[in-house]
Structure 1
């Protein structure tokens, strides 16, 4: 099996961007009009423009992330093995959960109490877990499902072989065609109506929120998983991404128009029904229409951004690679920082938009500085990303795959690409050759 994996620099950067945008989302929450304090401590001042930013990012960010997770999972399985992928998930997902689960329990509960009461009371609590790390649990659930799925899959293959040997080729052919038709309708169409319908059905009970619905996030994961083995669709998306985004922008505009007219989000209706402020009958046609737009917009934005990333940003870029490498660390640690920063500014007599920019910038700055000086070239970087960058010399990298290079060789030891003469000469001088 080929152990050298191709690099998708655009998708790497897109995945990192999606994770870093978590800072923006969580910085926006205190300033969203009508945000229940039971969900998130809120500032006395709010901003609808901040809400629009939040709704835009929230519509597609996690669907996109899980699509990319599925895409890269298939990449690893294809070029390494299924077992390698499982072990990788345990090391890069399971162990960070074990480390950061108690860290969040030690920081976020008292920060939340400070946001609601203005008082400091240091304590440890697992109430609210897994907080923003919920997507890591979903990734582990996918690994578990893949293990459980291998047993019936092998049985299904054995059954088909048995049917072929017993003169029931017609039934075998029917089952194969049925599987292929379902795959084409849901995962392989250039116009993903079947996929959007499936997402709408599976996500309805949770109001489109993936945090409590691994089946919903799993469907996005499967789409990305299928996309890797569908080069014709991937090529089409890369060429025609602008049309996906154009339709998605129109859908989002209608979504915001419904919100302005007072049409409730279906999640809000479900939440208020649970606390008996609403009746299930309050799920009106307008509410379902807004929900449909959320699903459709999320799918189209995700597909469009995938095409945009590979079409325009598919080559190696030092800055985007740095953000991509640091995004995991930034997402893991950002929530206590951004939450405390926004809560600390509650009493400041300034516009909420200014507070939002301060919180976002300060949190991003802290995350980037700590990554550069305390993570990137240390065992923490190895722990999170599986590699440790030696120092901050961004010149000693392969222009094809972005791998850090330490020895003056002619070919990259990661992807096999021939290195530029300038890079080889530079590293030869550094090594005294």
Structure 2
């Protein structure tokens, strides 16, 4: 068994994990681009396009199942790596710079841009404020964190991890408790039931929540400064598992070996979860329970499948993948008002949804990539988000994964 302080034996594998983190953020852009096309029973966005799409609804559902759980698992993994490289003070300073500062500076700018787009949408059919969302100004603790909620949650998870670690180190000076936890994690990871075991806590929380909606999965804490229990258990649990997984890095090779099995199971479970979330139930309580039983393992099976796929096929260094991984943070920070404006602009046009959807991404992504390359990558902003970058990019391979959020 790997020791708790073991350094990664295979640095090239970090390329795959860094790519997973970046692609999880980029998939978020795709997910948000689908939201104006969701069929009317599932309207959760500021505008509903005149050409809704069941296909994009399925795509939204599939991405939403695993994206943030995968992101937070990788975030926890890299957080422990950064903690042991930088020490406690260095880690805190680094996280305040790369996570807290973008949140504090980015939120007022992005929210200020999004507000007039919401008013624009309100003047169109099937547009306006999202149903059920609090009006502005909110009454605290209600607060529209929007898509930047993940930064707020990361800060909470970092603080919780540091406090728990300090408490455990104090209570367990000889390391026996930590060694026992390592043995449990290794035993679970070697079992094919690992996704089902990890799914139990979030499945219980979802099934007991009377407001849980199967189509939306784990409730994201984007409208309150008090993170809800589902997010703490679902996303915080993934962060904690990633932190613990870094103590025994060799265990990730199990995910690589089982990528195909997990992928097949993921497709089956996602299909079952989708069916249970959209079919009118004869007995809502039974169907809700069945939906939680299917959805929770779908989260972890798909997360394991995506990481395993990356480890199997993306473990080598790629300049283009590394570039996208670096760019993904900036792109995700700025993407939402751009997508919102484009969605509202095309929402009333009598064009087929594939043309509209492709047009939204086809305009937004090149624009955002250009802003990253010209304004961010080698600037102070880029240094804050990803660390200093040399224009000749001589050190890509040596630093892969070190700037993960």
Q: TM-score, normalised by structure 1?
A: 0.76
Long gaps (5+) in structure 2? 129-135, 213-217, 222-227
2:236 — aligned with what? 218
Indicate how the Cα distance of structure 1 residues 225 and 151 shifts in structure 2: closer, same or farther if over 3 A, else same: closer
Q: Distance in 2 between matches of 1:181 and 1:382?
A: 39
1:90 CA drift (Å):
0.8
1:151-162 pair list within 5 angstroms: 151-157=166-172
2:193 — aligned with what? 191
Q: What is the aligned counterpart of 1:45 among 42, 51, 56?
A: 51
2:225 — aligned with what? none
1:305 — aligned with what? 306
Q: Distance in 2 between matches of 1:332 and 1:126?
A: 23
Pair 1:144 & 2:159 matched: yes
Structure 1 SS opposite 2:329: helix
Contact 2:161-2:240 within 8 A present in 1 as well: no
Contact 2:37-2:51 within 8 A present in 1 as well: yes
1:149-188 pair list within 5 angstroms: 149-157=164-172, 183=185
2:121 — aligned with what? 115
1:34-433 pair list within 5 angstroms: 34=40, 39-118=45-124, 129-157=144-172, 183=185, 189-192=191-194, 193-204=196-207, 205=209, 207=212, 208-211=218-221, 212=228, 213-259=231-277, 261-263=279-281, 283-390=284-391, 393=392, 396-398=393-395, 400-401=397-398
Task: Give the total of aligned pairs.
Answer: 368
- 1:154-198 superposed Cα distances (whole Å, 9 cap, x missing partner): 44226x89xxxxxxxxxxx8x789756765676774421221112
1:303 CA drift (Å):
0.8
Indicate how the Cα distance of structure 1 residues 321 and 181 shifts in structure 2: closer, same or farther if over 3 A, else same: closer
Bigger radius of gyration: 1
1:272 — aligned with what? none
1:202 CA drift (Å):
3.7
Indicate how the Cα distance of structure 1 residues 179 and 231 shifts in structure 2: closer, same or farther if over 3 A, else same: closer
1:242 CA drift (Å):
1.1
Q: Distance in 2 between matches of 1:178 and 1:235?
A: 21
Aligned residues: CA RMSD: 3.2
Contact 1:72-1:225 within 8 A present in 2 as well: yes
Indicate how the Cα distance of structure 1 residues 176 and 14 shifts in structure 2: closer, same or farther if over 3 A, else same: closer
Q: Which of the pair has the greater relative contact order for Cα pairs under 8 Å at 6+ separation?
A: 2
Structure 2 SS opposite 1:115: helix
1:10 CA drift (Å):
0.9
Q: Distance in 1 between matches of 2:289 and 2:168?
A: 36
2:38 — aligned with what? 32
1:152 CA drift (Å):
3.2
Contact 2:346-2:356 within 8 A present in 1 as well: yes
- 1:250-295 superposed Cα distances (whole Å, 9 cap, x missing partner): 111222333453359xxxxxxxxxxxxxxxxx74212222222222
Q: Distance in 2 between matches of 1:191 and 1:25?
A: 29
- 1:106-150 superposed Cα distances (whole Å, 9 cap, x missing partner): 11122112112249x9xxx66552100000001100122134324
Contact 1:190-1:233 within 8 A present in 2 as well: no
Indicate how the Cα distance of structure 1 residues 144 and 283 shifts in structure 2: closer, same or farther if over 3 A, else same: farther
Contact 2:72-2:238 within 8 A present in 1 as well: yes
Contact 1:242-1:304 within 8 A present in 2 as well: yes
Runs of 4 or more off by more than 6 Å in structure 1? Answer: 1-5, 175-178, 185-188
Q: Distance in 1 between matches of 2:33 and 2:373?
A: 22
1:49 CA drift (Å):
0.5
Q: Distance in 1 between matches of 2:249 and 2:180?
A: 22
Contact 1:188-1:227 within 8 A present in 2 as well: no
